[in-house]
Amino acid sequence: MPLPCPKKQDKVVWIPSPSGSFLIVQTLKHLNLHLPSPSWTHLVWFKNSVPKYSFTLWVAIQQKLPILNRRCTSHINATICYLCNSHLESHDHIFFQCDYTKPLWSFIQSRCGIHIHPNSWQYLITWASHHWRNNNGFYSNSVAKLALSSLVYNIWMERNRRIFKKNFLSQNALLQQVLDRIRQKLLSSQLTDSLSSRRIIEEWELPASVIRPPAKPPDSN
Residues that bind Zn ion (CB under 5 A): 81, 83-84, 98
Residue with Cβ nearer Zn ion (79 or 126): 79
| Burial tier of 10 (Cβ tally within 10 Å: 0-12, 13-18, 19+) | exposed
Residue with Cβ nearer Zn ion (40 or 118): 118
Q: Which residues pair with 212 in a beta bridge?
A: 192
CB 152 within 8 A of CB 53: yes
Shortest CB 27 distance to Zn ion, Å = 43
CB 93 within 8 A of CB 70: no
Shortest CB 158 distance to Zn ion, Å = 11
Count of alpha carbons within 13 angstroms of residue 210, beta-carbon side: 22
Residue with Cβ nearer Zn ion (44 or 60): 60
Shortest CB 192 distance to Zn ion, Å = 41
C-alpha to C-alpha distances, 63 to 58, 68, 120, 122, nearest whole angstrom: 9, 11, 12, 9
Shortest CB 81 distance to Zn ion, Å = 3
Shortest CB 122 distance to Zn ion, Å = 18
Residue with Cβ nearer Zn ion (88 or 211): 88
Shortest CB 153 distance to Zn ion, Å = 17
Give 117's DSSP letter: -
Contacts 24+ apart (CB under 8 A), 66-75: 67/91, 67/94, 67/159
Residue with Cβ nearer Zn ion (85 or 122): 85
Residue with Cβ nearer Zn ion (158 or 201): 158
What does the alpha-carbon distance between residue 174 and residue 178 come to, in Å, rounded to a whole number?
Answer: 6
Return the number of other C-beta atoms located less than 10 Å from residue 199's C-beta.
Answer: 15
